[in-house]
Amino acid sequence: MSNYDSHLFIKKLQGKNINVIAQTEEKYTAFNVELNLGTFEKDGQTINVKKELRFLDSFKFMTSSLDSLSKNLDKEQHTHLQKYYQGRQLELLLRKGVYPYDYVNCIDKLSER
């Protein structure tokens, strides 16, 4: 994230409740933002629904890339992936740069898992 365009996220999130751990004006170690998703009524009270998103430069906290760290794991150690994927699908997910876009059709469904 420090060499990525995270400052573009920050510009887009201006006006929101955002906290930043910055190295420079355009390089960040981490930032989080609190988003107001709306309100609903419960027992005669109005409840505000908020969600906090946190972005971390994971490489700053690890000595190797995620790809090399995940290669240290045996296939059997990917227990959460194996609950949902087997065979060729699992092999594809364990490769670098593969994301199952076909399985993600709604962001709301991700938050329910």
Boundaries of domain holding 28: 1-61
Q: Which of 61, 82, 99 is the last residue of a domain?
A: 61
Same domain? For 8 and 28 the reply is yes
Same domain? For 53 and 1 the reply is yes
Residue 2: partners with Cβ closer than 8 Å, 6 or more residues away: 23, 27, 28, 29, 57, 59, 60
pLDDT per position as a tens digit, 53-98: 888 887 777 777 777 887 888 888 888 889 999 999 988 888 777 5
Same domain? For 86 and 40 the reply is no
Same domain? For 2 and 55 the reply is yes
Query: Nearest-CA neighbor of 17 among 35, 3, 31?
Result: 35
Same domain? For 47 and 70 the reply is no
Same domain? For 6 and 35 the reply is yes
Same domain? For 9 and 41 the reply is yes
Question: pTM of whole model > 0.85?
Answer: no
For the chain, the domain total comes to 2
Q: How far apart are CA 80 and CA 71, in angstroms?
A: 16
Please report, as a single letter, which amino acid is at residue 98: V
pLDDT per position as a tens digit, 4-36: 667 777 777 778 888 888 887 777 788 888 888
